């Protein structure tokens, strides 16, 4: 028995049900589409069937860029992945790997050239990693040299001074907080609390060493 799929030999053919069902493994091929043909000693070569027995080799998914290209080891930020043939739908996507971690659970499918997901936490290994998309239709993915993401360590914020050091329980006292490692922007700061009351709503980011905010109301 000799079988070709879109012009490419199919290996290890096996008859599952005589005269009706057989299986084989497709060989490597460039993206193309064509008929499935079988030739046996007893029956010769199969005839054309009007396109019903047609197989398509799809283009493997290729990631080209990642935005942003770096982020904290704790994860949690949104990453946008651009490329080609990144799946026909969200159901077509088998996995999205950022290094050794998957972000499939938070995946948002935009189209076959753009995906986004929440950055998973760093799980060890190299800090600069490839971003790869695997699909049902295209198989295991590839990544260009620009489809890399770098995890960076996030230093612990340190507060060295607070001015003023007291204010009214009704709040709305502007407080300047100075120290180190206050993040890269206001969006990078999750919360700021003064006496267990958040002042994130009024946060003003000045630099990684200085921020200010209005105190909230307190029942103390």
Task: Return the CATH number at 142.
Answer: 2.60.40.10
Does residue 165 fall inside a structural domain?
yes
Distances (CA, A) of 75 to 35, 38, 81, 147, 184: 47, 51, 15, 17, 15
Given 13, 41, 57, which residue is the final one in a domain?
57
Same domain? 131 vs 144? yes
Picking from 124, 152, 180, the residue at the C-terminal end of a domain is: 152
Asked if residue 20 has pLDDT above 80, the reply is: no
User: What pLDDT, on a 0 to 100 scale, did the predictor assign at position 47?
Assistant: 54
User: Is residue 184 in some structural domain?
Assistant: yes
Find the range with the poorest average confidence among 97-101, 163-167, 216-220: 216-220
pLDDT tens column, 65-93? 999 999 889 898 999 999 999 999 999 99
Q: How confident is the model at residue 158 (pLDDT cuts 50, 70, 90)?
A: very high
Residue 219 lies in a domain: no
Q: What is the pLDDT of residue 126?
A: 92
Q: Which tops the pLDDT comparison, 82 or 54?
A: 82
At residue 185 the predicted structure's pLDDT band, cuts being 50, 70 and 90, is confident
Is 29 part of a structural domain of the chain?
yes
Query: What pLDDT is attached to residue 44?
Result: 62
Question: Averaged over 92-98, what is the pLDDT?
Answer: 97
Same structural domain for residues 119 and 167? no
Q: Is residue 194 part of a domain?
A: yes
Q: Which has more confidence, 2 or 107? A: 107
CB distance 87 to 110 below 8 Å: no
Q: What is the pLDDT of residue 59?
A: 83
Same domain, 92 and 131: yes
Lowest mean pLDDT among 7-16, 49-58, 124-133, 178-187: 49-58
220 within domain boundaries: no
145 and 69, same structural domain?
yes
Residue 48, pLDDT > 70, answer: no
Same structural domain, 144 and 167: no
Q: Which CA distances in Å does 213 have to 77, 89, 144, 182, 199?
A: 24, 44, 44, 13, 6
Domain annotation covers residue 74 = yes
**Lowest model confidence (mean pLDDT) among 70-74, 96-100, 184-188:** 184-188
Domain co-membership, 88 together with 142: yes
- Are 67 and 148 within one domain? yes
Nearest to 124 by CA among 148, 155, 100: 100
Same domain for 68 and 139: yes
More confident residue, 46 or 117: 117
Tell whether 66 and 143 lie within a shared domain: yes
How many domains would you assign to the chain?
3
Mean pLDDT of 22-29: 81
User: What's the pLDDT at 196?
Assistant: 92
Three-state secondary structure readout of 104-165: HHHCEEEECCEEEEECCCCCCCCCEEEEEEEECCCECCEECCCCEEEEECCCCCEEEEEECC
**Which residues constitute the domain of residue 181?**
158-214
Residues 116, 166, single domain; the answer is no
Q: Domain ends where: 57, 78, 95?
A: 57
């Amino acid at each position: 028995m000799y079988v070709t799929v879109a012009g490419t030999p199919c290996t290890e053919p096996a008859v599952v049900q005589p005269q009706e069902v057989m299986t084989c493994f497709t060989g490597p091929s460039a993206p193309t589409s064509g008929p499935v043909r079988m030739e046996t000693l007893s029956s010769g070569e199969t005839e054309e069937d009007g396109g019903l027995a047609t197989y398509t080799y799809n283009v493997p998914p290729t990631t080209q860029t990642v935005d942003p290209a770096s982020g904290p080891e704790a994860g949690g930020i949104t990453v946008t992945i651009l490329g080609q043939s990144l799946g026909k739908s969200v159901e077509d996507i088998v996995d999205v790997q950022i290094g050794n971690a998957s972000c499939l659970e938070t995946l948002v499918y935009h189209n076959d050239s753009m995906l986004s997901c929440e950055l998973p936490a760093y799980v060890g290994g190299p800090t600069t990693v490839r971003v790869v998309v695997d699909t049902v239709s295209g198989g295991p993915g590839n990544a260009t040299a620009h489809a890399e993401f770098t995890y960076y360590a996030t230093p612990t914020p340190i507060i060295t001074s607070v001015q003023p050091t007291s204010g009214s329980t009704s709040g709305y006292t502007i407080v300047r907080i100075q120290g180190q490692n206050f993040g890269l922007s206001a969006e990078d700061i999750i919360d700021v609390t003064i006496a267990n009351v958040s002042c994130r709503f009024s946060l003003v980011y000045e630099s990684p060493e200085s921020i200010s905010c209005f105190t909230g109301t307190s029942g103390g």
